[in-house]
């Protein structure tokens, strides 16, 4: 198990290097003078521009800049924002808690919807529950998360007046109430795909031979489904739920923008809009790192669920 | 022979019909099966694949998913009570309790995510209400009974860490855990190596003798039947076509299909006698042939066979056949199984039973 | 379809043996997903061409006095805050939504199909390196990297489409590589090689035709994804710029006036959902029809 984690941690390194490099060169090799962007198109003296370039190492050749940037990155230094003149790491850490909460709530909501619905659809295959689940999965996968957000705002804020439509609230319960609608939005979008996978994994698991053994033992339908089938369906479900986390992070960007939440996603979008390169680079690399770590966690979970992964031995069958 | 002739049957199938709904029409998998198992008796159910053996076995346990399966007619009487009328709850009580089943492939029929011991303990806790520790002790005992070495350590082994033979022993332990009155064994050795096969069969026979349970042994291997069973039922196209005590059947088969099955056995020790496979293929069970279902493949067929469906009738003591020409024609047996040396299997069983 | 050469020299197709193609079409016609999805897709493709003929008004020109009027006989779907006809903007919006997505997928296939064939065909370290690279790319949501591209290049439909197109390459390349690997091992390809066919001929005669059906399925599903991603970019103001009629941008404008005039956002959102649903249904339906055993599940 420890070796599994160690190898996975090692494979993180090239992935991070790849993402960091892509982001860096993408931005540096495109036309446009960052120094001019920083001053926001105002007329400035050549001297000011030169000062800015020196301050941000923009006067050095690109390979040198890259080396410096990677060196900073390794030390956890993400640079200084062009616009806000603040440490990017500080900016990210400031905005992180809100996004983390949003992500956690959404993920929980999505599982609360998707897993029961997927199991039910598989058990009652081709009955109305199955049809409803398929319809939900299809519509959920086809509706952009920001449109789902708008629909929920229309219903729950404007029509029913139950929940606030904008902002993050004042902390505590107020924050929770404010995050409910955004989390529901994102949760529903995530649940669409997870429902579909849960259903197909459960259908697959329920046709396995050992299900017959479990029934032949005299177990109740409930234990057959939950104990024997569902545990076997968990591996594909977790794989997809893990992959969904990437979507969750991007979805969080869109949801924060729609609901006016000042999280990491809003930070990224604002930075993209004003071409605040250090923030774009820093936030992208940070999100990528979180994403890779989540994938690592998923791999570890496999080992916990499936003894064949944990203990080695013949796979498959 | 432990079976008492005329004893009240443990299980009786009475004209059982189980069909499957498909797009191409109803598949008549089990289409009027009559079968009896008496206490303490091992009954073999033989036939080609697709003859309906496995569906028959599963329908006794009510493991056939409905739909697509449907019960079209007949009864399944266990101690005289129709299992088909039982509530789900009561049926669950029976399954793995008084009626248990073991399956063909012990790899795929064990859940890969739980240890061998846990899976057996689950059955014990379900039916005997033991707590975790007591169930564990009971499982280890059972493992010893079924000949699993290092029983205590094997409790914590996952199926993928066990050999095929050990896995099947785990399955047997699971089935026997609640001392069933009836054990249904669906091709229990087909997926195993030959030497392991003999060991498992010997174990089953030994356990049967010790517990006095009735066994329905489903197989396509007449050699296994010859060694294991008291009585045999031969199944073809969803029906029993012949039923007799095992020595009677092998000495004096009264159905051309049974004869065909025997002639089809390749026998290495009888050089010069070529095995003769039955010509043709089993019928399409959505549209079985009219008259006797075997007539398109039968070398003895006559006009009546394609028109009149023969019923199972008595052709001797405890011997029944569904052929118009039973006792009226001489069916040619190229090798009489009763006379030949069944050395391979017999010695293997004796050795491992010792 | 089986063909026979008659003594006279005429080629005759044998109708009695159903070819795999006709079986596929038969299954396709019986598949409600494919039929509904196909209809939506056909209508969308048609709208790209005939939008000007159907649009009741100029999508860019509006009267401010007519601002934010709800649906009425004059404006079936109402007007937006600049008094422009929402229906007309929706109809023209097909061009950027569907056209943009087509461009994304076209670019991804232009690179991805040859790349997939090349990787599988070469095998060895080339295959290893290429698949590793795209596995890493696949692990990231394309939209996240697209943000970085927009930050570098600035907003715009063409730039976003090119960026997404490149980021979509692994989706198609992976599928094509899989099919090529199978075909490569197939005996007839081996035989073709033994007969001294040139690689080009093997690729065009044997490999590409077999890649066709999976490519069609992936194309349909990728178009759906691309529409969502492009809509997201323009919703964030990073895609096509105003005043061009675009569904994502309309949704963004609509959100600002959601309380007073929800019809703008609802119309734009519904358009996106229906269009994406159409391509998703078509892709699912095609896949079911191509692989009926999987569809039974």
Residue ranges of the domains in chain C? 30-56+70-296
Between B335 and B238, whose confidence is greater? B238
Residue (of B341, B342, B337) closest to B246 by Cα position: B337
Predicted pLDDT of residue C17: 43
| Å between B187 CA and nearest CA of chain A | 14
Confidence of residue C10 (pLDDT cuts 50, 70, 90): very low
Confidence of residue C228 (pLDDT cuts 50, 70, 90): very high
Could you report the predicted ipTM of this complex, rounded to two decimals? 0.83
The neighbouring-strand residues paired with A294 are none
Highest mean pLDDT among B95-99, C168-172, C243-247: C168-172
Count of residues making up chain A: 317
Highest mean pLDDT among B107-111, B153-157, C278-282: C278-282
C-alpha–C-alpha distance, residues B187 and B48, integer Å: 12
- Contact with chain A for residue C265, Cβ under 8 A: yes
Residue C34 near residue C220 (C-beta atoms within 8 A): no
Confidence of residue C19 (pLDDT cuts 50, 70, 90): low
DSSP element (H, E) containing B19: strand B11-22
Residue (of C184, C171, C193) closest to C115 by Cα position: C171
Tokens encoding A83: 């616009």
C-alpha–C-alpha distance, residues B41 and B181, integer Å: 11
Residue in B58, B92, B104 to test binding to A, most A beta-carbons within 10 Å = B92
Q: Provide mean pLDDT across the span A302-315.
A: 68
Residue of C nearest to A203 (CA): C297
Residue in C44, C141, C281 to test binding to A, most A beta-carbons within 10 Å = C141
DSSP element (H, E) containing B34: strand B25-37
Listed by start position, the domains of chain A span 88-273
* Region C30-56+70-296: CATH code: 1.10.3720.10
Residue B75 near residue B16 (C-beta atoms within 8 A): yes
CA B258 distance to own-chain centroid: 16
Confidence of residue A108 (pLDDT cuts 50, 70, 90): very high
DSSP element (H, E) containing B16: strand B11-22
The residues, any chain, with a CB within 8 Å of residue B20's CB and separated by 6 or more, are B26, B27, B29, B68, B69, B70
- Contact with chain C for residue A295, Cβ under 8 A: yes
C-alpha–C-alpha distance, residues C226 and C214, integer Å: 18
Q: Is the pLDDT of residue A185 over 50?
A: yes
Residue C143 near residue C232 (C-beta atoms within 8 A): yes
Which chains does chain A touch, 3 or more C-beta pairs < 8 A? B, C
Mean pLDDT of all residues in chain A? 83
Predicted pLDDT of residue B340: 42
The neighbouring-strand residues paired with B76 are B13
The residues, any chain, with a CB within 8 Å of residue B9's CB and separated by 6 or more, are B36, B37, B38, B77
**Considering CB atoms only, which of B92, B110, B113 is closest to A305?**
B113
C-alpha–C-alpha distance, residues A226 and A237, integer Å: 14
DSSP 3-state helix, strand, coil percentages of chain A (rounded to 5)?
A: 80, 0, 20
The burial of C260, by beta-carbon neighbours within 10 Å (0-12 exposed, 13-18 middle, 19 or more buried), is given as exposed
Q: Is the pLDDT of residue B275 over 60?
A: yes
Instruction: Determine the 3-state secondary structure of A124 from DSSP.
Output: coil
The neighbouring-strand residues paired with C175 are none
User: Which residues in B294-341 belong to E strands, given as ranges?
Assistant: 313-316, 319-321
Predicted pLDDT of residue C7: 36
Predicted pLDDT of residue B345: 47
Residue B221 near residue B229 (C-beta atoms within 8 A): no
What is the bridge-based pairing of β-strands B214-219 and B182-186? parallel
* Number of neighbours of residue B314 by Cβ within 10 angstroms: 11
Confidence of residue A42 (pLDDT cuts 50, 70, 90): low
Q: Is the pLDDT of residue C162 over 70?
A: yes
Instruction: Determine the 3-state secondary structure of A112 from DSSP.
Output: helix
Name residues 224-263 of chain C within 8 A of A (Cβ): 224, 228, 231-232, 235-238, 248, 251, 254-255, 258-259, 262
Confidence of residue B252 (pLDDT cuts 50, 70, 90): confident
Highest mean pLDDT among A6-10, A110-114, C139-143: A110-114
DSSP state of B317: T
The residues, any chain, with a CB within 8 Å of residue A127's CB and separated by 6 or more, are none
Q: Provide mean pLDDT across the span A120-145.
A: 90
| Å between A105 CA and nearest CA of chain B | 30
Count of residues making up chain B: 354
Which chains does chain B touch, 3 or more C-beta pairs < 8 A? A
Report how far apart, in Å, the C-alpha atoms of B217 and of each of A60, B44, B188, C65 are: 84, 5, 8, 88
**Considering CB atoms only, which of A209, A213, A306 is closest to B113?**
A306
Name residues 243-262 of chain B within 8 A of A (Cβ): none
pLDDT in tens, B96-138: 888 889 888 777 888 888 888 888 888 888 888 888 888 888 8
* Interface A-C: count of C-beta contacts within 8 A: 124
Q: Provide mean pLDDT across the span A160-167.
A: 76
Predicted pLDDT of residue B2: 43
Q: Is the pLDDT of residue A234 over 50?
A: yes
C-alpha–C-alpha distance, residues B334 and B245, integer Å: 21
**Considering CB atoms only, which of A27, A258, A291 is closest to C152?**
A27
Residue B36 near residue B9 (C-beta atoms within 8 A): yes
| Å between B298 CA and nearest CA of chain A | 36
Rg (CA), chain A: 24
Residue A147 near residue C251 (C-beta atoms within 8 A): yes
CA B21 distance to own-chain centroid: 24
CB contact under 8 A, A277 and C297: no
Please, what is the Cα angle at A9 between A6 and A11, to 5 degrees? 115
What is the bridge-based pairing of β-strands B11-22 and B69-78? antiparallel
DSSP state of A143: S
Q: What percent of chain C has pLDDT over 90?
A: 22
The burial of A213, by beta-carbon neighbours within 10 Å (0-12 exposed, 13-18 middle, 19 or more buried), is given as buried
* Region A88-273: CATH code: 1.10.3720.10
Residue (of B77, B3, B71, B84) closest to B41 by Cα position: B3
Tokens encoding C285: 């339906």
Residue B244 near residue B319 (C-beta atoms within 8 A): yes
Query: For residue A84, how many C-alpha atoms fall within 13 Å in the half-sphere facing its CB?
Result: 18
Query: Which residues does A contribute to its contact with B (CB < 8 Å)?
Result: 208-210, 212-221, 228, 231-232, 305-308, 311, 313-314, 317
Chain C residues with CB-CB distance to A14 below 8 A = 136
DSSP element (H, E) containing B231: strand B231-236
pTM given for the model: 0.80
Which residue is it, tokens 């042994």? B217
Q: What are phi and psi of B215, to 5 degrees?
A: -130, 135
HEC assignment per residue over A272-313: HHCCCHHHHHHHHHHHHHHHHHHHHHHHHHHHHHCHHHHHCC
What is the bridge-based pairing of β-strands B25-37 and B11-22? antiparallel
C-alpha–C-alpha distance, residues B337 and B327, integer Å: 19
Residue A52 near residue A277 (C-beta atoms within 8 A): no
* Number of neighbours of residue B72 by Cβ within 10 angstroms: 15
- Contact with chain C for residue A281, Cβ under 8 A: yes
Predicted pLDDT of residue A316: 36
* Number of neighbours of residue C60 by Cβ within 10 angstroms: 14
> What strands, in cross-sheet order, belong to the sheet with B319-321?
B99-102, B182-186, B214-219, B42-46, B231-236, B239-245, B319-321, B313-316
Q: Provide mean pLDDT across the span C210-238.
A: 89
Residue (of B4, A148, B254) closest to C232 by Cα position: A148
Residue (of A255, A253, A244) closest to A146 by Cα position: A255
- Contact with chain A for residue C282, Cβ under 8 A: no
Q: What are phi and psi of B183, to 5 degrees?
A: -115, 130
Name residues 247-266 of chain A within 8 A of C (Cβ): 247, 249-250, 253-254, 257-258
- Contact with chain A for residue C269, Cβ under 8 A: yes
Q: For the packed helices A172-206 and A230-259, what is the interaxial angle rounded to 10 degrees?
A: 140
């Amino acid at each position: 198990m420890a070796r599994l984690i160690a190898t996975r941690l090692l494979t993180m390194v090239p992935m991070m290097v790849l993402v960091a490099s892509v982001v860096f060169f993408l931005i540096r090799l495109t036309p446009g003078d960052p120094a001019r962007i920083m001053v926001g198109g105002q007329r400035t003296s050549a001297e000011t521009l030169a000062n800015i370039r020196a301050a941000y190492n923009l006067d050095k050749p690109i390979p040198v800049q890259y080396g410096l940037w990677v060196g900073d990155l390794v030390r956890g230094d993400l640079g200084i924002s062009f616009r806000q003149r603040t440490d990017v790491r500080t900016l990210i850490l400031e905005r992180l808690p809100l996004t983390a909460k949003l992500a956690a709530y959404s993920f929980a909501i999505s599982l609360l919807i998707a897993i029961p619905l997927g199991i039910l659809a598989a058990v009652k295959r081709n009955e109305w529950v199955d049809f409803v689940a398929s319809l939900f999965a299809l519509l959920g996968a086809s509706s952009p998360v920001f449109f789902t957000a708008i629909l929920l705002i229309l219903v729950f804020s404007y029509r029913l007046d139950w929940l606030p439509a904008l902002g993050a609230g004042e902390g505590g319960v107020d924050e929770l109430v404010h995050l409910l609608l955004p989390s529901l939005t994102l949760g529903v979008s995530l649940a669409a795909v997870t429902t579909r996978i849960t259903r197909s994994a459960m259908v697959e698991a329920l046709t396995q031979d050992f299900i017959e053994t479990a029934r032949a033992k005299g177990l109740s339908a409930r234990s057959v489904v939950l104990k024997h089938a569902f545990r076997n369906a968990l591996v594909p479900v977790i794989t997809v739920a893990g992959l969904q986390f990437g979507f969750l992070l991007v979805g969080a960007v869109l949801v924060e923008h729609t609901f006016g939440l000042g999280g990491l996603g809003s930070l990224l979008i604002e930075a993209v809009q004003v071409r605040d390169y250090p923030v774009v680079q820093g936030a992208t690399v940070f999100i990528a790192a979180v994403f890779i770590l989540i994938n690592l966690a998923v791999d570890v979970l496999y080992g916990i669920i499936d003894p064949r992964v944990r203990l080695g031995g013949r796979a498959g069958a | 022979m432990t079976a008492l002739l005329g004893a009240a049957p443990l299980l009786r199938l009475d004209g059982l019909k189980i069909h499957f709904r498909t797009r191409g029409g109803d598949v008549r998998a089990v289409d009027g099966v009559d079968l009896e198992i008496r206490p303490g008796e091992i009954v073999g159910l033989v036939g080609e694949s697709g003859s309906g053996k496995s569906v028959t076995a599963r329908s006794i346990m009510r493991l056939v998913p409905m739909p697509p399966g449907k019960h079209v007619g007949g009864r399944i009487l266990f101690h005289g009570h129709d299992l088909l009328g039982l509530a789900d709850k009561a049926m669950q009580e029976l399954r793995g309790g008084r009626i248990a089943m073991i399956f063909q492939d012990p790899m795929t029929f064990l859940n890969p995510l739980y240890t061998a011991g846990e899976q057996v303990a689950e059955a014990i806790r379900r039916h005997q209400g033991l707590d975790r520790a007591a169930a564990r002790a009971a499982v280890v005992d059972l493992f010893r009974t079924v000949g699993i070495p290092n029983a205590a350590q094997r409790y914590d082994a996952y199926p993928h860490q066990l050999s095929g033979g050990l896995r099947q022993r785990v399955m047997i332990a699971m089935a026997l855990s609640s001392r069933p009155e009836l054990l249904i064994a669906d091709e229990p050795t087909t997926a195993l190596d030959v030497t392991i096969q003999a060991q498992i069969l010997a174990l089953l026979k030994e356990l049967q003798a010790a517990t006095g349970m009735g066994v329905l042994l489903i197989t396509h291997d007449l050699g296994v039947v010859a060694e294991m069973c008291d009585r045999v039922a031969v199944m073809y196209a969803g029906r029993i076509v012949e039923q007799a005590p095992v020595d009677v059947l092998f000495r004096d088969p009264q159905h051309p299909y049974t004869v065909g099955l025997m002639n089809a056995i390749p026998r290495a020790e009888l050089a010069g006698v070529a095995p003769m496979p039955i010509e043709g293929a089993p019928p399409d069970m959505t549209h079985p042939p009219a008259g006797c279902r075997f007539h398109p493949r039968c070398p003895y067929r006559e006009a009546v066979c394609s028109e009149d469906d023969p019923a199972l009738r008595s052709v001797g003591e405890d011997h029944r056949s569904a052929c118009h020409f039973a006792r009226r024609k001489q069916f040619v047996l190229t090798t009489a199984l009763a006379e030949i040396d069944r050395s391979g299997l017999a010695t293997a069983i004796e050795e491992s039973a010792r | 379809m089986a063909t026979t050469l008659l003594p006279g020299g005429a080629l005759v197709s044998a109708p009695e043996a159903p070819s795999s193609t006709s079986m596929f079409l038969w299954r396709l016609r019986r598949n409600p997903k494919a039929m509904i999805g196909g209809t939506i897709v056909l209508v969308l493709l048609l709208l790209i061409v005939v939008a000007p003929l159907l649009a009741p008004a100029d999508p860019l020109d509006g009267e401010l006095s007519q601002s934010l009027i709800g649906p009425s006989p004059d404006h079936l779907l109402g007007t937006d805050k600049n008094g422009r006809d929402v229906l007309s903007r929706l109809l023209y919006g097909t061009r950027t939504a569907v056209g943009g997505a087509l461009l994304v997928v076209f670019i991804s296939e232009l690179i991805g199909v040859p790349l997939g064939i090349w990787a599988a065909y070469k095998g060895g370290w080339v295959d290893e390196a290429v698949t590793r690279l795209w596995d890493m790319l696949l692990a990231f949501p394309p939209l996240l990297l697209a943000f970085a591209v927009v930050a570098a290049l600035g907003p715009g439909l063409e730039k976003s489409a090119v960026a997404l197109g490149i980021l979509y390459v692994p989706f198609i390349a992976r599928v094509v590589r899989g099919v090529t690997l199978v075909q490569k091992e197939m005996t007839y390809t081996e035989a073709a090689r033994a007969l001294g066919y040139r690689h080009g001929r093997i690729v065009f005669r044997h490999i590409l035709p077999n890649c066709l059906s999976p490519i069609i399925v992936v194309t349909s599903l990728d178009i759906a994804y691309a529409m969502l991603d492009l809509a997201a970019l323009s919703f964030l103001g990073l895609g096509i710029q105003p005043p061009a009629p675009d569904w994502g941008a309309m949704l963004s404008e609509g959100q600002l006036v959601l309380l007073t005039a929800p019809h703008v956002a609802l119309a734009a959102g519904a358009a996106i959902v229906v269009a994406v649903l159409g391509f998703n249904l078509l892709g699912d339906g095609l896949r079911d029809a191509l692989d009926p055993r999987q569809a039974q599940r």
